Each structure stands twice: as structure tokens, then as C-alpha cells.
Chain A
Amino acid sequence: EVQLVQSGAEVKKPGESLKISCKGSGYTFANYWLGWVRQMPGKGLEWMGIIYPGDSDTRYSPSFQGQVTISADKSISTAYLQWSSLKASDTAMYYCARRVGATPWFDPWGQGTLVTVSS
């Protein structure tokens, strides 16, 4: 079974750094693009960016370029999303999802990581 398992919920203060993870199993992790999606409280889904773990080729949505860093370690089938200095507006649920197909869709999705940034 293809599965993505994300790290647990985080509570941080503004200005702190954070790295959350997404571990894939049941498929060749290096061979599929993996994306990150944000859902702010009461809002919809926003595509943040994607990474190809095979060579760490990374693409960002213009809205998130420079705001976060996406990385991956194919040796442990894990992708990461990190912030160097969190803001209260980063409070959201973050999902990872495997990108599939030529006109790509996302399947499956991780269970989500809730990030709360509050002083």
C-alpha cells in the first residue's frame, strides 16, 4: 500500500524555525514528485511546491518562493518542509501528497501536520 506519513503537530513561537517531515512507503520514493499543500484555518487548499527526490529538483509556487524550503532525503524516503523564521500567519495544516500522472494529480495524501505559531 502506498502511504505517506507525516510528523506530528507542532506549536512554535514567532521567529522560531521548524522542519516537518513526510515519509513515503509502498513505492519507489525517488521516482515520484512529492508536493506540499497548505490549508489555513477555514480556508481552501493551496499548492506550495514540489520536489523530485531522485535529484532534489524543486519547484515553488510564486506565493511561497522564499518563504519555505522543500527538501528530501531519498535514502530514507522522506521529504521535508521547513521555515527559518515562523510567523503567526504560518499557522495552518500542511499536507504532503505524491504527484502522479502526466497532467498531474495528487495521490495519496499524508494525514497532515498542524503547525500553530503563537506567542
Chain B
Amino acid sequence: QSVLTQPPSVSGAPGQRVTISCTGSSSNIGAGYDVHWYQHLPGTAPKLLIYGNSNRPSGVPDRFSGSKSGTSASLAITGLQAEDEADYYCQSYDSSLSGSVFGGGTKLTVL
């Protein structure tokens, strides 16, 4: 059971918008710790997609955006493309565990 909760799967047609939620608690997201998002394609290294809740590293398309409110965060992907099909993970810091925590991951399927 992951400390951060994500839906196991989401799907959308090319061009559509999807969102992936990440729910935490008062010891992590709710405590004010930032949420970060990673894209993980099979057989490759995870790639940083969003850091500090809503910031995109250089090279990440602006189709990807992040937000945070209360004990939850969301990743939105607009203009879905086939290449977006991957696993997506949220990550934060947990004060009770004194370390980083990940969500269980969400598999995005582009229909």
C-alpha cells in the first residue's frame, strides 16, 4: 500500500485531456511538501515531468501541467499523443517517515 494514492489506470483518445490524481495526508502533501511527477516508459529510466507541484523541466512539453491543493495533487495532460502512453508516478516527502514517498503509479493508455 503506497503512502500516496493514485488511480491504477486512466485512458483517453488522442487529442483529449486526462488527469491523474495523487492523494496524500497531513504528513506529506497536506504538510506543505511539494509534489513531483515522473513519466516511466517500459525499459527506460523514469523521467522527471513536473517538479515543485507545477514546474516543467526544460524539454517537457507544455501539454503537461501539475497542480496541488490541500492533501492532493494532479497531473493534467492535454492533446494526448500515442507517445504519452506510460506509467506516471507522483512523489513527495513524508515527515513521519523522514523520507521520500511515491504513489503507486498510474498506467495511461491512449486509445
Binding site for B on A (CB under 8 A): 35, 37, 44-47, 49-50, 59-62, 95, 97, 99-101, 103-112
Partner of B89, one of A35, A44, A100, A103: A44
Once the chains bind, are B91 and A112 in contact (CB under 8 Å)? no
- Asked whether B24 is an interface residue with its Cβ less than 8 Å from the other chain, the reply is no
Q: Which residue of A lies closest to B102 (CB)?
A: A45
- With both chains docked as a complex, state the minimum distance between the C-beta of B51 and any C-beta of chain A, in angstroms: 5
B97 touches A105 (CB 8 A): no
The 4 A-B pairs with the shortest beta carbon distances in the complex, nearest first, are A103-B34, A105-B36, A44-B105, A109-B45
| Min CB gap A63→B, angstroms | 9
* Chain A neighbourhood of B34, CB < 8 A: 101, 103, 105
**Once bound together, how far apart are the Cα atoms of A112 and B40, in whole Å?**
12
Question: How far is B101's CA from A103's CA once the two chains are assembled, in angstroms?
Answer: 12
Interface size class of B (residues with CB under 8 A): 20 to 34
Partner of A62, one of B2, B89, B97, B103: B97
Chain A residues, Cβ within 8 Å of B91: 45, 47, 105-106
- Which residues on the B side are within 8 Å of A59 (C-beta)? 98-99
Shortest beta-carbon distance, B69 to chain A, in Å? Answer: 16
A103 & B52 in contact (Cβ 8 Å cutoff): yes
* Interface membership of B47, Cβ < 8 A: yes
B99 touches A95 (CB 8 A): no
A45-B89, A62-B97, A105-B91 known; A95 vs B103 contact (CB < 8 Å): no
**A99-B100, A106-B48, A106-B91 known, 11 other contacts, Cβ within 8 Å:** A35-B100, A37-B46, A44-B87, A45-B89, A47-B100, A50-B99, A59-B98, A97-B46, A106-B36, A107-B48, A107-B57
